[in-house]
Amino acid sequence: MASKDGFSWTESQGLKAGVPCIGAIQPPTNLNDDSQHGDFDVIVVGAGYAGLTAVRDASIAGLKVLLLEARDRIGGRSWSSNIEGYPYEMGGTWVYWNQTNVWREIARYGMQDELEESYDFSKGIDQFLLSNAQRTQSFSHADEDALMKTALEKLVNVDGNLGKTAVPFPHSAKMSAAELRYDRMTLADRINELRDELTPNERLCVEAFVLLCSGATLETASLYEFLHWWALCDYTYDGLINYLVRYKFHGGQSSFAIRFFREALATGNLRYAFEQPVAAIKQLEGVRGGAVEVQTRAGRSFRGRRAICAVPLNVLDNVAFSPPLSPGKRAAASRGHVNQCVKVHAEVSGTHLRSVTAISYPHHALIYSLGDGTTPAGNAHIVAFGAQHNHFEPDEDVARAVDAFRGLAPAETDMCVRRLVFHNWSKDEYAKGAWFFPPPGLLADHLADMRAPHGHVFFACSDWALGWRSFIDGAIQEGARAVVAVTGSLAGTPSL
Amino acid sequence: MASKDGFSWTESQGLKAGVPCIGAIQPPTNLNDDSQHGDFDVIVVGAGYAGLTAVRDASIAGLKVLLLEARDRIGGRSWSSNIEGYPYEMGGTWVYWNQTNVWREIARYGMQDELEESYDFSKGIDQFLLSNAQRTQSFSHADEDALMKTALEKLVNVDGNLGKTAVPFPHSAKMSAAELRYDRMTLADRINELRDELTPNERLCVEAFVLLCSGATLETASLYEFLHWWALCDYTYDGLINYLVRYKFHGGQSSFAIRFFREALATGNLRYAFEQPVAAIKQLEGVRGGAVEVQTRAGRSFRGRRAICAVPLNVLDNVAFSPPLSPGKRAAASRGHVNQCVKVHAEVSGTHLRSVTAISYPHHALIYSLGDGTTPAGNAHIVAFGAQHNHFEPDEDVARAVDAFRGLAPAETDMCVRRLVFHNWSKDEYAKGAWFFPPPGLLADHLADMRAPHGHVFFACSDWALGWRSFIDGAIQEGARAVVAVTGSLAGTPSL
């Protein structure tokens, strides 16, 4: 199976659009003919983890479910491409056993022993390389940890208590006055406060790390959201590593997502259609118990008692809602989130770079890199991240991507980039960006708006999750929340 | 609503069996008459969190479910009694947002802002009192933390890496050779290894803490299981506090458990009968697709396609299985777990003891105590824990329980015990002990046995959970696992 999404590049084949993916669904629909299907209990728009979870929970609950997905695959912003049996993660990757919704599902599917570590500090160049435009310094990983820890603790120590007072309970639906204030500050504001406290190396590390997390620029990203991540990660640097970049699926994210889809399908309650972007969601007047009509861009129309809209904030405007969304929701969609992460995988000759981590900033296009695996050919697999800062389009400028990887290694290293694999999230019309990271004030002004239902339409997306907002965990939580809300809303109304 | 379980005592009323409980279910059954109900898809035996989760997930999944529970209430070993509007937790109490299954449910039910902290170090006697038979020492809570941290880190440092090498992945279904070895050691074995390294105060603290966790004696409890708890708690003392004794439900555990029951009931798929202890579970031969017959002690008999047995290990022998359980399961049930925790709540005059924590060991009946709340009357609420070490029956010896609380406070304090509330778990024929804590070798020999199905009967209990074994979290995980297994097992078999 293959998806039209994603790109791969090798010297011999050049750039190719579309990559293998076990999350690409065949056949693309199990709807035979519109007329056969009648009404659905719930129509779910979007097959990212929020939509998939909603589809699964609703199917299990005996609801007649229709899933409409714009792409040819499940997973939304989290999907993997298996190339020669080796998974490259195109978006959301890492999971951890203290991420509640993710782990609940991993345990439920008995996948608890299917994780592996991205890091392997036992091979080849076992160093942390810290480069700016002037020079490259080399450190041990122990020195890297010490430097990052000190630097990040200065950043989050807004309260003299390492952020524990500022964000005491990262799963709350409420934001305190202090939290609202931090949300109106940018990362640049906070770093500017610390300008006399951070050493030059600490400042490099902090700026690169928060750009890794936000995919934005320092001037456009909320300080609060980073404090919230820090709180979710147990207020420790070790926590950041464990939760954010350490454990991934041996079989790739799509090996996890497909479990949700298959479980839903096995109930017999799921109809689905891929490659069916939705154009409009209308609430129908005068139908007892309520009804919605969902129209695809291709002009097909489906009726349901309820709808769950599980598309990202940045593409909510792709859908025409009737009646129109609340002013708060529209304002949130219009502001959008600011993550324009550029994530690129490279297979590079030999294992010598397997154990490297690197920051190249502020001059470089790929700011943060780490060894992420060893390919079947025995080469090192490096994953690298760029942001809105120095943003570029790797599909338009492969040479720049290759160069960015070359810049990773010490000059004397003979580095040959054999393969690139990536997804251009910024040009993806169904995402318009990577994982959610808010501009200042968006959460303060609109978190509740984003979470609110709109008549018979419910909204499920990691972008407005409590807790692990922006993460796969938050997406699963939101999908479950939406189905609880739909079930409650349908109780007592006439059934089909 | 009230349960026959539990005891309360006041000077004026004396000892009374039975306490108010919102988890006591009225009416006690919704079965009108045996003959009306026919076969069930699944019969769940036991309404602790594992059974409740199984009942809920199966009901939602459209299975015809029968719940049989021996008691008059839900919750099993986790339930609360609301007395004058104030909850006392009779068993399992604390939850944390990194406990995956618990938090998934809390978020799903929108209860994320219904927690409160047990500790409040801002009132009255704000001290840690450390007593042995000879003397009482008083420390600040900061000193308590430092002492406990140093002492426990010595205990878990079996690998020179604070247990991280010994138990690298606490959610795995596999135990390494090292883990098997630690499981064959007792806590006493390990403490004996440290006899020259622990100061007298550290030794007091370590022994009291592991008895708090195990409810056993040092000689009867597995070292591995404590290392496993430590790993689950992120290998830190702060983690132990956060996960184990910090956050509880404002409305009590039964306010959480009832959500599962009500959700199941709302599906219309649940029949239930309380006060119906089960005597036997038989697999019926020759029924296509499989069938089981469940007999109650009262002589009623129900047929189901599958059964989920969600009773604790220590009472598995209460049920006669036909055909008999595997030798491994029988051996595990016969060995049992070793937790005979004695948990007693006291309301004591005035708020002066609200902020106290205390260890009284090895001479005292209640080893570990902490301020747990302020009652509506403005008095301090203290919760205290005993173990198999110096075990006693508070319902048989109220004076000893009162004395044990008196021993908490400095001699010059005027302490008046106004009320006691407790459940005697050791004498409870449906529990025969508190939360699971294994003797040496039980997990090494029988973890897989305990988790295995037996024909058409599936076993769900926190006692053999991976990850948060012994905790509410593990119970919920097990209930979900059982329903996934039952659903898989029923796929392709003839429906009712």
**pLDDT, tens digit, 9 for 90 and up, residues B135-190:** 999 999 999 999 999 999 999 999 999 999 999 999 999 999 999 999 999 999 99
- Interface membership of B481 toward A (CB under 8 Å): yes
What is the Cα–Cα distance from B475 to B482, expressed in whole angstroms? 11
Q: Is B139 annotated as a binding residue?
A: no
**In which residue ranges of chain A is CATH 3.90.660.10 found?**
141-204+217-244
- Interface membership of A101 toward B (CB under 8 Å): yes
Nearest to A112 among B97, B171, B480 (CB): B171
Q: A-chain residues within 8 Å CB-CB of B266?
A: 491
**Which class does domain A21-79+253-326+452-490 fall in?**
alpha beta
Q: Is B66 left (phi over 0), alpha (psi -120 to 50) or beta?
A: beta
> How confident is the model at residue A495, as a pLDDT?
64
> How confident is the model at residue A409, as a pLDDT?
72
Provide the percentage of residues in chain A whose pLDDT is more than 70: 98
- Chain-chain contact of A98 with B101 (C-beta, under 8 angstroms): no
**B interface test, pick of A56, A162, A169, A171 with most B CB neighbours within 10 Å:** A171
Average pLDDT of every residue of chain A: 95
Taking Cα atoms as reference points, which of A188, A184, A56, A91 lies closest to residue A436?
A91
**In which residue ranges of chain A is CATH 3.50.50.60 found?**
21-79+253-326+452-490
**pLDDT, tens digit, 9 for 90 and up, residues A102-154:** 999 999 999 999 999 999 999 988 999 999 999 999 999 999 999 999 999 99
- Interface membership of A477 toward B (CB under 8 Å): yes
Mean pLDDT of A331-352: 96
Q: B-chain residues within 8 Å CB-CB of A467?
A: 97, 103, 107, 112
Q: Name residues whose C-beta falls within 8 Å of residue A200's C-beta, 6 or more positions apart in sequence.
A: none
- Interface membership of A59 toward B (CB under 8 Å): no
Q: Any alpha helices (H) in B34-140, and if so which ranges?
A: 49-60, 100-108
pLDDT tens digit at each of 496 positions of chain B: 899 999 999 999 999 999 999 999 999 999 986 555 678 999 999 999 999 999 999 999 999 999 999 999 999 999 999 999 999 999 999 999 999 999 999 999 999 999 999 999 998 889 999 999 999 999 999 999 999 999 999 999 999 999 999 999 999 999 999 999 999 999 999 999 999 999 999 999 999 999 999 999 999 999 999 999 999 999 999 999 999 999 999 999 999 999 999 999 999 999 999 999 999 999 999 999 999 999 999 999 999 999 999 999 999 999 999 999 999 999 999 999 999 999 999 999 988 899 999 999 999 999 999 999 999 999 999 999 999 999 999 999 999 999 888 877 776 677 899 999 999 999 999 999 999 999 999 999 999 999 999 999 999 999 999 999 999 999 999 999 999 999 999 987 766 5
What is the Cα–Cα distance from A40 to A304, expressed in whole angstroms? 4
Length of chain B counted residue by residue: 496
> How confident is the model at residue A405, as a pLDDT?
87
Q: A-chain residues within 8 Å CB-CB of B142?
A: none
Adjacent-strand bridge partners of A222: A186
**In which residue ranges of chain B is CATH 3.90.660.10 found?**
119-245+336-428
Q: What residue in B sits closest to A484 (Cα-Cα)? A: B108
CB A416 within 8 A of CB A348: yes
CB A260 within 8 A of CB A53: yes
CB B243 within 8 A of CB B233: yes
- Chain-chain contact of B171 with A110 (C-beta, under 8 angstroms): no
Q: Is B436 annotated as a binding residue?
A: no
Query: Topology of B119-245+336-428 in CATH?
Result: Polyamine Oxidase; Chain A, domain 2 (3.90.660)
DSSP string, A378-413: S-EEEEEEE-STT---TTT-HHHHHHHHHTTS-TTS
**Run of H or E including B304:** strand B301-309
Q: A-chain residues within 8 Å CB-CB of B62?
A: 60-62
- Interface membership of B99 toward A (CB under 8 Å): yes
Helix (H, G, I), strand (E, B) or coil at A228: helix
Q: Name residues whose C-beta falls within 8 Å of residue A70's C-beta, 6 or more positions apart in sequence.
A: A46, A275, A276, A277, A278, A430
Taking Cα atoms as reference points, which of A66, A480, A107 lies closest to residue B60?
A480
- Which CATH number fits the domain A141-204+217-244, given the four candidates 3.30.70.1730, 3.40.50.620, 3.90.660.10, 3.40.50.300? 3.90.660.10
What is the Cα–Cα distance from B83 to B417, expressed in whole angstroms? 16
**pLDDT, tens digit, 9 for 90 and up, residues A250-299:** 999 999 999 999 999 999 999 999 999 999 999 999 999 999 999 999 99
- Interface membership of B467 toward A (CB under 8 Å): yes
- Chain-chain contact of B101 with A101 (C-beta, under 8 angstroms): no
Helix (H, G, I), strand (E, B) or coil at A56: helix
- Interface membership of A296 toward B (CB under 8 Å): no
Bond preceding residue B323 cis, omega within 30 of 0: yes
Q: Is B219 annotated as a binding residue?
A: no
**Which class does domain B2-7+27-79+253-326+452-490 fall in?**
alpha beta
> How confident is the model at residue A496, as a pLDDT?
59
Establish, for the pair of chains A and B, how many residue pairs have beta carbons separated by less than 8 Å.
Answer: 97
Q: What residue in A sits closest to B482 (Cα-Cα)? A: A108
Helix (H, G, I), strand (E, B) or coil at A271: strand
Q: A-chain residues within 8 Å CB-CB of B100?
A: 97-104, 107
What is the Cα–Cα distance from B464 to B478, expressed in whole angstroms? 8
CA dihedral A311→A312→A318→A324, nearest 10 degrees, is 80
- Angle among Cα A385, A390, A393 to the nearest 5 degrees reads 70
> Beta-strand (E) ranges in A241-387?
247-249, 270-273, 278-284, 291-296, 301-309, 320-322, 342-348, 357-360, 368-374, 380-386
Q: B-chain residues within 8 Å CB-CB of A109?
A: 484
Taking Cα atoms as reference points, which of A490, A422, A432 lies closest to residue A89?
A422
Binding residue ranges of A: 69-70, 278, 385
Shortest distance between the Cα of B243 and any Cα of chain A, in A, equals 11
Average pLDDT of every residue of chain B: 95
CB A312 within 8 A of CB A428: no
Nearest to A104 among B97, B104, B173 (CB): B104
- Interface membership of B108 toward A (CB under 8 Å): yes
CB B459 within 8 A of CB B311: no
- Chain-chain contact of B101 with A104 (C-beta, under 8 angstroms): yes
What is the Cα–Cα distance from A225 to A238, expressed in whole angstroms? 18
**pLDDT, tens digit, 9 for 90 and up, residues A154-169:** 999 999 999 999 999 9
Q: What own/partner pairs with CB < 8 Å and gap ≥ 24 does A291-298 have? A: A291/A39, A291/A456, A292/A43, A292/A455, A292/A456, A292/A457, A294/A43, A294/A45, A294/A66, A294/A68, A296/A68
Q: Is B492 left (phi over 0), alpha (psi -120 to 50) or beta?
A: left
**In which residue ranges of chain B is CATH 3.50.50.60 found?**
2-7+27-79+253-326+452-490
Taking Cα atoms as reference points, which of B481, B480, B458 lies closest to residue B42?
B458
**pLDDT, tens digit, 9 for 90 and up, residues A192-221:** 999 999 999 999 999 999 999 999 999 999
